[in-house]
Structure 1
Amino acid sequence: MLMTSYQKALRADPSYKPAAECLAIVLTDLGTSLKLAGSVQEGIQKYHEALKIDPHYAPAYYNLGVVYSEMLQFDLALNCYEKAALERPMYAEAYCNMGVIYKNRGELESAIACYERCLAVSPNFEIAKNNMAIALTDLGTKVKLEGDINQGVGYYKKALYYNWHYADAMYNLGVAYGEMLKFDMAIVFYELAFHFNPQCAEACNNLGVIYKDRDNLDKAVECYQLALSIKPNFSQSLNNLGVVYTVQGKMDIAASLIEKAIIANPTYAEAYNNLGVLYRDAGNISLAIDAYEQCLKIDPDSRNAGQNRLLAMNYINEGHDDKLFEAHRDWGKRFMRLYPQYTLWENAKDLERPLVVGYVSPDFFTHSVSYFIEAPLVHHDYANYKVVVYSAVVKADAKTIRFKEKVIKKGGIWRDIYGIDEKKVAIMVREDKIDILVELTGHTANNKLGMMACRPAPVQVTWIGYPNTTGLPAIDYRITDSLADSPHTKQEHVEELVRLPECFLCYTPSPEAGPVSPAPALSNGFITFGSFNNLAKITPKVLQVWARILCAVPNSRLVVKCKPFCCDSVRERFLSTLEQLGLEPLRVDLLPLILLNHDHMQAYSLMDISLDTFPYAGTTTTCESLYMGVPCVTMAGSVHAHNVGVSLLSKVGLGHLVAKSEDEYVQLALQLASDTTALSNLRMSLRDLMSKSPVCDGINFTLGLESAYRNMWHRYCKGDMPSSRRMEMLEQKLVVSEESAIKISEPTRNIKSRESPPGDIKINGYSPLPPTMPNSST
C-alpha cells in the first residue's frame, strides 16, 4: 500500500524526489525479501526497478553487487559496488566488498586499497579490519616468496595492527623468522599462533622442527605429538616424529610412523626418503635403496633421495661393474642442469702468488670430518695459502669455536653460511676471489654441491667426506693417495685423481680420548673382537667372516656398538643372524650410541682386536681404534671405499694386517688372537707408533697438500684442464667466456607459508532499509 502511494505521487509529479527515493527504498527492500526467500531473479528485477525510479540510490547498487557476488559474477558485482561507492562516497560496506573480490582474484594491492578506503570512512568496521589483516598476510607471503623477506615480515606485522589475534599472521611470522634463522623469534610467533588458534597443528609441527634442529629431541617429540593430537593423519608430523625416533635409534616405532605418513599421503616423496634412511641405519641396504628409488619416482629431482641412494650403493659395491660410477655420473649431469655455471674468473693467473683456498663443509664440529680437516686449518702457511672457511654447521659446538678462533688468529676468514642459498654462497666465493675451492662432504648430509655446481672458483676439489666420485663435472680434482686409489685402479671418477705423497688423510686425535687401557684379554682370559662402525657397513658377508673368526677362537667375544642397538628388534635380528652362522648370542655384546666423546673413546678398552668392515671400510673408527691401542684387521679391495683401511694401516706400519681375501682376513685375526703377550705389547706401543706416522704428521701432510694445490694452480694458469673439465666442455660445447660471468638469480625458497583458506573473508550482509522516512540512510 505504501509503494502504491509513492507510485501515485510520482505519477502526479514525476519530479518529486522524496517520493522517488522512498519508492526506491521500498523496491530495494522488496528485492532483498524476494532474494532471501529464494526468488533471486525477482529480487534482481526489483533492484533494477528501484534504480530505474532513482538511478542514484546506492543501496540498490550495493545489494545487486552482493547478489552477483554470490552468483560468482564478480565483474558485474564489482561494477555495482563501484557505482554504489560513487553515489555514496561514505559507503564503507561497498569498499569492503570490493576488497573481497580483489583479494579473491589475487589483486592484493587493490584489495588493500579498498579496505583502506573502507576504514577511512568507518575506522571500527571489524569485518574490514579482519579482511585487511588477511590481505596483508597474503601479500606478505607473496613478497616473501618473491625474495623480499623483510618486506614480508613488515606486512605480517601490519596485519596484526588490524587484527592483533590473527593466528595466520603470527604463524607466517614464525615461518619468516625461521627462514631468517631467527629461531627464538620464530618460536615466539608459533607459540602465539597456537595460542590464538589451538587447532593450528602446523605451528606445533614447525616448533618441533626447530627443537629437533636444536637437539632438544624430547621437546620436538612433544610438539609433534601435540600436532598429531589435533590432526591424527597429519603426514608431516607423522614423518617428522619418525625422523626423531630414527635419530634416537628407535627403529620400529620410527618405521611405523613414517609408513603412516605415506598412507596418509601416498605422494609424500620425502617420507620415502626418510624410510630409506631408517632402513640404511638399521643395516638393510637393499630396502633403503628401494625406498630412495620410490621417492625418486614421485620426485625425480629429490636431492636427498638422489644423494642418499648414491651413498647407500657404496655399502654394497664390490667394484665389479660400472653401475655405481654410472649412477654418480648420471646424477651429476642432471644436477648440473639446475645451476648456471660461471665461465670467467678474475683471479690473476700468477703461478707463484699466494693462493686463496676455500674449504666448505657443514661438518666443522665434533664430526668425523673434523678430525681430518684440523691439520690443514692449523698448519697451512697462511702467508702463501690464505684460508677461507665456509661453515654450514647447523649447530656450532666447542670444536667449531676452536676452529674458528684458530683460522681467524692466523689471518684467515671464517664465514657462517648455514641457511644461505647455495647460489648466494657461490657469489660470496667469487667475491672472496677463491682460487681453489675444496668441498669436504660429497653426497653426505647438508652438502653444498649446488654451490660447487655453479663453479664459482677456477679450481674445484673434493676431499675427505665421501669415498667415491661426486659425479659432478664442475669438480676438477679428487684428493686421494696411491694405496686408497691405486694408479692402476679401474674405478672411474668424474674428477681427476690427485694422489698425495703419503696418506690422503691426516688424523688429529681427540684431546678427550684419555689413556690407552691394558688389553682386556690380560684380565678376562679371552679375546674380545669388536667394531664401532655403523650398521650399514656390517653387511651379511661381513657377519659371515666375523662368525668364522669367533667360532675359531674358543671363548672369544664380539662387541659391536652403533645407534640402532637401542631398538630390540634390531638387536634381535643382528643376534639371530649371527646365531644362524654358528655364534651363540651370549658371546655378543651390543652397545647403543655413546654420547660423550671421552666415553666413546674409552669404550675401545672393551676390545682387543678391531675388525674392519668391507666393502665400505671404516675411516674415523679405524683411526680411533689405532690411537686407543687396538690393532685393526682390514681387507683390500678394488675401490676407494674398500681401501681406506689399507692406506691408514700401511702408513701406521701395520701393513701386515691388510688381507687380500676373506680367508686371509680370518687368518690375520686368528694370528693376532693367538699371542696375548704380543697383542698387549702392540697395544701399549701403538699410540706412539701412530702419532709418529704420516697419518698424524700434520706439518708434513699440509706441505704435501699445499704442493698439490700449487700444482693444480699451475695447471689452471697454463690452461691445462683436468680431464673432467675437458669432458664437460666437450659434452656441453661450452666456450670459456671472455666477457663478464653470468649472473645467478635467487630462487624461490621451498618453504610454504600458511595461506588464508577459502571462506575466511565473508561478504558483508544485505542492507534492507526501513521505508519510514524519506532520505533514510544506511
Structure 2
Amino acid sequence: MLSLTSPTQLHQHAEKYLLAGNYNQAASLYEEAITIEPNIKSYYWYLGLILLLQGQDVEAQTTWLMAIMQGEPEQVEAWNSELVKILQTEAERRERIEEHSIAEKIRQSIKEFSPQNIHNLLHLLQLAIKLEIYTGENLQELEIIEILQSEPRIEVNLELLLESLKIVLDYAPNHPSTLDFVEACLPYCKDNTQALLITLLPAALDIGYSQKQFGVAVQLCKLYLQLSPNNTEVIGHLASLYQNAGEYEKGIEVAKLFFSLVEGLADQVFANRQILRGLMTAGGHWEESCSIHNRQESLVKLLIEEKPVQLDAARIARLFNANFFTPYIKDNPINSRSIQNQLMQICQNNVDISEQKIVNRYFQGNLARKKQFETTKKLNIGYLSHCLRSHSVGWLARWLFQHHDRNKFQINGYFINTNPLCDPLHEWYLTKVDKTYKSNESLQLAEQIYQDEIDILIDLDSITLDTTCDVISLKPAPVQVTWLGWDASGIPAVDYFIADPYVLPDSAQKYYKEKIWRLPQTYIGVDGFEVSVPTVNRDQLDIPDDAIVYLCGQRGFKRHPDISRLQLQILKEVPNSYFLIKGISDEKSIKSFFEELTEEEGIDSSKLRFLPIVFSESIHRANLGIADIVLDTYPYNGATTTLETLWMCIPMVTRVGEQFAARNSYTMMMNAGITEGIAWTNEEYVEWGIRLGKDEALRQQIAWKLKQSRKTSPLWNGKQFTHEMENAYTQMWQKYISS
C-alpha cells in the first residue's frame, strides 16, 4: 500500500509520475509525503512545481510561500536556493526536449524568487526569442544590462553569455538595445577576446553584407576594438564596412591603419587592396589611387615570386580579388591577365593543399559519375551567385532563367548573401529554379553542389565575391563556366569563359587561362527593361529646354580622369550644353574631382549637374530620358547601363579598348545595329561626342534605329540568347563526356 511506503519512496514514485506527465498522481504522492514528514521542504517545492505545470499558478506560489514563511532568515535563503535548483533542473529538462513554453513558465517562477539570477535571465532571454515573443525590450524588462553593469561585477558563465549574445544578434540586430547588450558584455570578455571575436565578427559581417545594415556592423566592430584595439582581422573588415556604409574617408583611414599593422606579404596585399577599394569607391582620388595601385601590383608580383603554399583559408579568399581594380585603372590585358592568372594559380595551389581530401573526393566522384552518365537524362545546371537579386547581374540574367527549356535542363540555384525579405527580384528567382540552396559558407555550398550532381556550374560572380571563388576552386562540378559578372577570374578550376566575337576577339585567347567560348552574336540578350515615370526634368535642374544634355551615370571608380577630360572637352566644344553626372560615389570627392578638371580644361563648372541616386531601377531608366547623349567610361565601360541606354533609344559614345571591360559597350552597340558613336581612339571619342551634340538629325536617326532594333536585334531577344547558351552547355558537356 502507498500509505505504508516511506516518504523517500513516495518521492521516487512521484518523480516517475512527473517525468511521465501524470501530474495528478505525482501531486497526490507529494501531499502524502508532506503529511508524513511536513518538515521536508523539498516536497513543497515539487508539489508547487506540479501545480504550476497543471496551470494552477496561484496555488503553486501559495504552496512555496507558505513553506518559506515558516523559517528564519538564514533558513529562508537556503530554502530559496533549494527551490530554485529544483525549478532550474526541470526548466533545463524542458529546454532539452524543446518544450520552450513550459521552460519559460518555470523560469519566470525562478525569477520571482531569484530576480538577480543572471543565468536564469539569460535563459529567459533565449526562450523569448525561441518562442518569438522577443521585442527588443526584453533586455530592459529583465534588467539584464543593468545587472551586467552593476558593481562589483557579477560572475557569469561566459559560454552562456556569448550564446545569448549570438542569438540576440541573429534575431534583433537592429534594435537599439542589442548594441547596449554587446557593450555590457565587453568587461566579461577581457580575458577571452577570441571567444567574443568568434561571436561578434561573423554576426557583424552577416548584418552588414547579407542584411545591408552596415551602420550596425560598423558599431559592432568598434565595440570589439575597445577590448582589442589592434586586432587586424576586425580592422580589415571595418574598413570595408565603413566604405559600404558610404563613410568613405573613415574607410580609407581605417584601411591605412590596417596596412600599417600587418606584416606578411599576403596580408599586405589584402590591406593595400582595402585602401585602394576606399579610394576608388569614393571616386576622385585618382592620383593616390594610381600610386596605391602601383604598390599593389608590386606586392602581388612579390607574392607570385614567393609562391606561398601554406596559406590559410582566410588569406586565400582575400587574394582572389586582390586585382579587382586593375581594369578600372588601365587597359593592358596582356600584362594584367598574366598577373591575375599567376595569382589565381597560387590560390588554386593552396586550396588543393589545404582542402586536398575534398578536392580529391570531388574529382574521383565526378569521374565515376562521368563513366555512368546516361545520355537521355536532363543536363543538371547550377547557377552560383550573390547577385541574383536587385543587382545588375540579377536584371540581366533573368531572361536566361525565364526561357530555359525545362524538358532538357534541370536548373538549380545556389544563392549567397541573399536577403529575400525585401527583394522582389530575388523572390522571382526562387520561383524559376527547380532546387534552391542558400548559404554563406563556401564548403557547405560546394558540398551541396557536389551532392546535387551538378553537371555544369555557372559562376556569375567571378572575383567580385571571395566565397564564390572558394567554391569554384574546389571544383565541385565537372564542368565550370564563368559568365556575366565580371571578366574571367583566371582560377584554374574554371573551364570556360562565355564571350562573343566583339567583346573578345580570337587574339584574346593567348592571355586567358580559361577556354573562351564565344556565342555566335552576343554574350548577353534580354527581352527589355521595365521603365517607370521619371523623377527629374530640365526645369528642376535649371537647364534650358533647347540645351544639349550629356550624361554619364557610372560608379566613382569608373571615372578615370583621362576619359573625364575627354568628356569635358566635348562639353567645351558644344554650345549650350550641360553635363549630368550620376553614380554611387562620395559626393564631396566627385564634385571636387570635376571642379579641378573643369578649371584645367577652362570650362565653366556651372555646366555640370550632379544627379542624386534613385533606388528604383525603373525610375533610374526613366530618368535617362533627360539626356540627349550618354558618354561612356573607359577603360571600364558600362554594361547594364549601356543596355539600359540603348533600350531607352539614346545615342551614346564609347571608347573601345583591348580588355573585356573596355569592349562591353562595343559589343552591345554592334548587336543593336549601331556603329555611330563607336570610337577607337581618344580623338574619335571627342569627335563623336561633338558631332552627336551638334547634329540633331543624326541623333534622331540613331534613336529610330535603336527603336527598330527591338524587333530584330539579338540583344533584345532573350529566348534566342537562351537557346544559344543551352547549345553551348550541351556542346561543353559533350566535349567533357567524350574527352
Q: Does the aligned pair in 2 maintain the 1:519–1:608 contact within 8 Å? A: no
Identity of aligned residues (%): 22
Measure, in 1, the Cα distance between the counterparts of 2:279 and 2:653.
Answer: 27
1:715-754 equivalence runs, <5 A: 715-719=735-739
Q: Following TM superposition, by how much is the alpha carbon of 1:650 offset from its aligned partner in structure 2, in angstroms?
A: 0.9
Q: In the alignment, is the contact (CA less than 8 A) between 2:566 and 2:682 conserved in 1? A: yes
Q: Is the contact made by 2:579 and 2:608 (CA closer than 8 Å) also made in structure 1? A: yes
Which residue number in structure 2 is paired with residue 6 of structure 1? none
- After superposition, the C-alpha distances for 1:557-585 in whole angstroms (9 at most, x for unaligned) are 1112122242x234213320232123332
Q: What residue in structure 1 maps to residue 320 of structure 2?
A: 307
The unaligned stretches of length 5 or more in structure 2 are: 1-116, 120-147
Partner amino acid for 1:276? L
| Structure 1 pair 352–551 and aligned structure 2 pair: CA distance change class (3 A) | farther
How many residue pairs match? The answer is: 550
Q: Match for 1:388: what amino acid?
A: N
Assess if the C-alpha contact under 8 Å between 1:440 and 1:465 holds in 2.
yes
Please name the residue that 2:129 is paired with.
Answer: none
Aligned to 2:142: none
CA contact (8 A) 2:495 2:514 kept: yes
* C-alpha separation in 2, matches of 1:386 and 1:584: 58
Q: Alpha carbons of 1:357 and 1:223: their partners in 2 closer, same or farther (altered >3 Å)?
A: closer
User: Where does residue 387 of structure 1 map in the other structure?
Assistant: 411
> Matched residues in 2 for 1:602 and 1:165: separation?
61
Q: Which residue of 2 aligns with 1:36?
A: none
What's the offset of the Cα at 1:628? 2.5
CA distance, structure 1, for counterparts of residue 737 and residue 499 of structure 2: 23
Q: Aligned in 2, Cα 1:688/1:171: closer, same or farther, shift over 3 Å?
A: farther
Aligned residue type for 1:335: C
Q: Residues 710 and 366 (structure 1 numbering): CA distance in 2 closer, same or farther, change over 3 Å?
A: same
Distance 1:523 1:571, change over 3 A: closer
**Per-residue deviation at 1:612?**
1.2
Distance 1:525 1:440, change over 3 A: same
In 2 relative to 1, CA 304–561 (structure 1 residues): closer, same or farther, beyond 3 Å? farther
Aligned residues of 1:361 and 1:441 also touching (Cα < 8 A): yes
AA of the residue aligned to 1:249: G
Q: Which of 521, 529, 535 is 1:502 aligned to?
A: 521
In the TM superposition, 1:23-102 aligns within 5 A as none
Go from structure 1 to structure 2 and tell me whether the alpha carbon gap of 1:227 and 1:426 turns closer, same or farther (over 3 Å shift). Answer: closer
Q: Give the drift of 1:702.
A: 0.6
How do 1:145-184 residues align onto structure 2 when only pairs under 5 Å count? 166=156, 168-170=158-160, 172-173=162-163, 182=170, 184=172
Q: CA deviation at 1:374?
A: 0.7
Shift of 1:693: 2.2
User: 1:563 and 2:587 equivalent?
Assistant: no
Q: Which amino acid aligns with 1:324?
A: S
Q: Who wins on radius of gyration, i.e. which is larger?
A: 1
Give the whole-Å Cα distance in 1 for the aligned partners of 2:452 and 2:628. 49
- Correspondence for 2:247: 250
Distance 1:351 1:714, change over 3 A: farther
Q: What is the CA–CA distance in structure 2 between the aligned matches of 1:456 and 1:254, rounded to whole Å?
A: 36
Deviations 1:543-602 (A, max 9, x none): 232122111112311112122242x23421332023212333221223354333244223
Q: Find the aligned partners of 2:204 and 2:726 in 1 and give their Cα distance.
A: 44
User: Is 1:289 aligned to 2:324, yes or no?
Assistant: no
Alpha-carbon distance between aligned partners in 1 of 2:279 and 2:243, rounded to the nearest angstrom: 10
Q: Which letter maps to 1:623?
A: L
Task: Provide the C-alpha distance between the structure 2 equivalents of 1:634 and 1:191, rounded to a whole number of angstroms.
Answer: 52
Structure 1 equivalent of residue 51 of structure 2? none
For the residue of structure 2 that corresponds to 1:478, the secondary structure is: strand
Which of 320, 327, 338 lines up with 2:339 in the alignment? 327
Contact kept in structure 2, 1:526 and 1:555, CA below 8 Å: yes
Tell me the residue number matched to 2:390.
366
Match of 1:637, as an amino acid?
Answer: G
**In 2, Cα distance between the equivalents of 1:353 and 1:237?**
48
- What is the CA–CA distance in structure 2 between the aligned matches of 1:169 and 1:632, rounded to whole Å? 60
1:303: Cα distance to partner? 4.1
Distance 2:164 2:463 in 1: 31
Matched, 1:414 2:436: yes
One-letter amino acid of the counterpart of residue 505, structure 1:
I
* CA–CA distance in structure 1, aligned partners of residues 157 and 475 of structure 2: 43
2:497 aligned partner? 478
Partner of 1:402: 428
CA RMSD, Structure 1 to Structure 2 (Å): 3.8
SS of residue paired to 1:557: strand
Q: Relative CO higher for 1 or 2, CA cutoff 8 Å, sep ≥ 6?
A: 1
The 2-side partners of 1:716 and 1:359 are apart by 19
Q: What is the one-letter code of the residue matched to 1:362? A: H
Q: Confirm or deny that 1:492 pairs with 2:511.
A: yes
Change in 2 beyond 3 A, CA 1:264/1:327: closer
Aligned counterparts of 2:537 and 2:560: Cα–Cα separation in 1: 30
Return the alpha-carbon distance in structure 1 between the equivalents of residues 418 and 682 of structure 2. 41
* Structure 2 length-normalised TM: 0.66
Specify the code of the residue in structure 2 equivalent to 1:280.
M
Match of 2:717 among 693, 697, 718: 697
Q: Distance in 1 between matches of 2:719 and 2:698?
A: 32
Q: Quick one: which amino acid aligns to residue 327 of structure 1?
A: I
Q: Distance in 2 between matches of 1:294 and 1:168?
A: 45
Corresponding residue for residue 730 of structure 2: 710
How far apart, in 1, do the equivalents of 2:235 and 2:700 lie? Answer: 51
- CA distance 1:242–1:427, shift in 2 (3 Å): closer
